[in-house]
């Protein structure tokens, strides 16, 4: 198996993961703009949580998702692209 082929395929997969992760964040952001009241009313039935706490959880979750996307997908993607140009 050719090493360059493996690097290219892995880089493409990581690139797709980056796009999907940022797409999920965009979807969540848009949902929070238009559906935050519905989501809060649904979750406040299940858990004793204030509106401020709910918004903080959503904000921290988006930050954690972005951190994961960058560390787990974007950084390795860039590294593989740099390594692949050396060959």
What the block records as the tokens of 6 is 């493996």
Which candidate, 74, 57, 63, places its Cα nearest to that of 20?
A: 74
Report pLDDT digits (tens) over 40-77.
999 889 999 999 999 999 999 999 999 999 999 999 99
72/69 Cα distance (integer angstroms): 6
**Residue 19 — pLDDT band, cuts 50, 70, 90?**
very high
12 vs 62: CA distance, rounded Å: 24
Q: What confidence tens digit (pLDDT) does each residue in 33-50 have?
A: 898 899 899 988 999 999
């Amino acid at each position: 198996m050719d090493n360059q082929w493996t690097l290219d395929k892995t880089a493409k997969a990581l690139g797709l993961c980056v796009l999907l992760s940022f797409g999920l964040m965009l979807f969540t952001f848009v949902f929070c703009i238009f559906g935050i009241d519905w989501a809060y009313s649904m979750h406040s039935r299940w858990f004793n949580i204030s509106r401020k706490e709910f918004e903080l959880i959503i904000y921290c979750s988006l930050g954690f998702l972005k951190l994961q996307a960058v560390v787990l997908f974007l950084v390795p993607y860039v590294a593989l692209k740099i390594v692949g140009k050396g060959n």
